[in-house]
Amino acid sequence: MPDHNTITGFHHTAVTVHDLDAMVRFYTEVIGLRVLMEVDSVAPPTGDHTGVAGARRKLVFVGFGDGHRIELVHYIDPPASAGHFRQHQLGAMHVCFRVSDLAATHARLSGAGVRFLTEPKFREMEGKRIGAVYAQDPEGNWIEFLEGA
């Protein structure tokens, strides 16, 4: 049977943000990503792929420069409405980072004021020690840190 899948890989994960400057600082100064690209975006009066006619947005892409990146989307006009999903509710999303030392990552980020859901949790899976922990960025978006996978 031929492969009809035209999806070829990851491009980015987008997070709609309220305070773009604070979020860029968090992802660059605390997490350690770098700004890869900034875009001032204005949708035409008929709308674009967002479905918001005439929307003015500032987009900042952050990452390691190795392919996948996080797109921080700030709606200027009309502004985005408030609302967060809890980590376990339908519609929730998270960004996952691989780490080499979960305990050290947890300690460093806790010291920088990052809020974690729990302490790091470890388990054996297929002969490997896997560790994970969830945190939140300054606007409550979920982030997972994963060791050993």
Exposed/middle/buried for residue 39 (C-beta within 10 Å: 0-12, 13-18, 19+): exposed
Element (H, E) at 108: helix 102-111
Q: Return the pLDDT at 89.
A: 67
Q: What is the pLDDT of residues 121-133, one digit of tens each?
A: 999 988 999 999 9
Residue 126 to residue 148: CA distance in whole angstroms: 11
Kindly list the domain boundaries of the chain, sorted by start residue: 12-77, 94-147
Q: Is 94-147 in CATH node 3.50.50.60? A: no
Which residues of the chain register pLDDT less than 50?
Answer: none
CATH class of 12-77: alpha beta
Under 8 Å between Cβ of 93 and 140: no
Q: Return the pLDDT at 4.
A: 72
User: Tokens standing for 10?
Assistant: 């990851």
Residue 18 to residue 130: CA distance in whole angstroms: 34
Exposed/middle/buried for residue 122 (C-beta within 10 Å: 0-12, 13-18, 19+): middle
Domains 12-77 and 94-147 share a fold: yes
Q: What is the pLDDT of residues 81-103, one digit of tens each?
A: 777 666 666 677 889 999 999 99
Under 8 Å between Cβ of 71 and 15: yes
